[in-house]
Chains A and B, each alone.
Chain A
Amino acid sequence: MTCTDFLAKLTDFFDGTVPPALMIEVEQHIAECKHCEVVLDSTTKTINIYRNSEIYDFPPELQQRLESAIMTRCCGPRDSTK
């Protein structure tokens, strides 16, 4: 397996859909190629960092304001006396 072949399989690798026979080749390539090992490690970390970080604030005031605006638009003004 070449580095290009490895890259072509990277998305399937993350999806866990690489067929078992090909998986052996992929693993063998990673064991032998430092560059691809680094690419795999840093790409995994890239995904994890984005997945686990809330990079845009969504404070409770904003959430409340949006929910109130949405419900008013959809269902009309609420009776605040209830």
Chain B
Amino acid sequence: MQHLFPMPAIQSPESESIQPEEIHPDVALVARAKDGDTSAFEQLVRQYDRQIFRVAQHITQNREDAEDITQDVFFKAYQKLDQFQGNSKFSTWLVRIAVNESLMRLRKRKTSKTVSMDEDVHTEEGSIPRDFAEWRPNPEQLYGQGELSEILRKTIQGLPPGFRTVFTLRDVENLSTEETAEALGLSVPAVKSRLLRARLQLRERLSRYFKQSNPLQALEGKSR
């Protein structure tokens, strides 16, 4: 069927090229690590420490916490390696530990307030789009790398933890909707609902930086 509108071009540079029936290379590494081969475990650490650090930093919004959590996640994974049955990808298993550790860290920080995946998810904010200005074709090119990162950090920081976590796993880490649900202990419909609202809230907040109607940027664009 020829679609009027092609599927949106969501770019995924790290998308999995492994087919489901293929054996993931991690399986052999995990098996060797279980047998006491520390170099195999070290290789797994090297493969996933950046991802685990990124997940922890996205959720906690704190660099020192993210460093501690990254260490804790791999330490716990090493201790519980025998419990990993291989029903999910090893990286998904690590991410699940990272999410739990990160939410626990948030709870410790906010002593008077419970932090959970359910916090603030009942807000209606951002569930209905309000800004309908068109965005520039390549909005990320409007800013230098440092400035863009600052805008993106500031914007995602404003999301409630429950939304931020779902968006991070599904859209930043490129887990499937089902893997995200599994990692967070949520149902697939709950993930979809939070994901929609997270995406719409971020879109709404980023619009002020990326829309075409910003007269300053329009002028800058013309002069380029």
- How many A-B pairs with Cβ below 8 Å? 143
A40-B8, A50-B202 known; 11 new pairs, CB 8 Å cut-off, are: A11-B195, A14-B8, A27-B3, A30-B5, A41-B135, A48-B9, A49-B206, A52-B140, A58-B54, A70-B74, A74-B38
A13 to B54, CA, bound (A): 27
Task: Assess whether B223 is interfacial by the CB under 8 Å rule.
Answer: no
The A interface, classified by DSSP as helix, strand, loop or mixed, is: helix
Chain A: which residue is nearest B52 at the CB level? A66
Whether, in the assembled complex, B53 has its beta carbon less than 8 Å from a beta carbon of chain A, the answer is yes
Task: Return chain B residues, CB-CB under 8 Å to A13.
Answer: 7-8
Give A contacts to B, CB under 8 Å: 7, 10-16, 20, 23, 26-28, 30-31, 34-35, 38-56, 58, 62-63, 66-67, 69-71, 73-75
How many residues of chain B are within 8 Å of chain A by beta carbon?
58
> What are 21 A-B contacts defined by CB distance under 8 Å?
A10-B199, A27-B5, A38-B132, A40-B5, A42-B210, A43-B199, A44-B8, A45-B139, A49-B140, A49-B206, A50-B156, A50-B167, A50-B172, A51-B12, A51-B172, A52-B140, A55-B149, A55-B153, A56-B57, A71-B38, A75-B38
Q: Give me the interface of B with A, judged by CB distance under 8 Å.
A: 1, 3-5, 7-13, 38, 41-42, 45-46, 49-50, 53-54, 57-58, 63, 66-67, 70-71, 74-75, 78, 128-129, 132-135, 139-140, 148-149, 152-153, 156, 167, 171-172, 174, 177, 192, 195-196, 199-200, 202-203, 206-207, 210
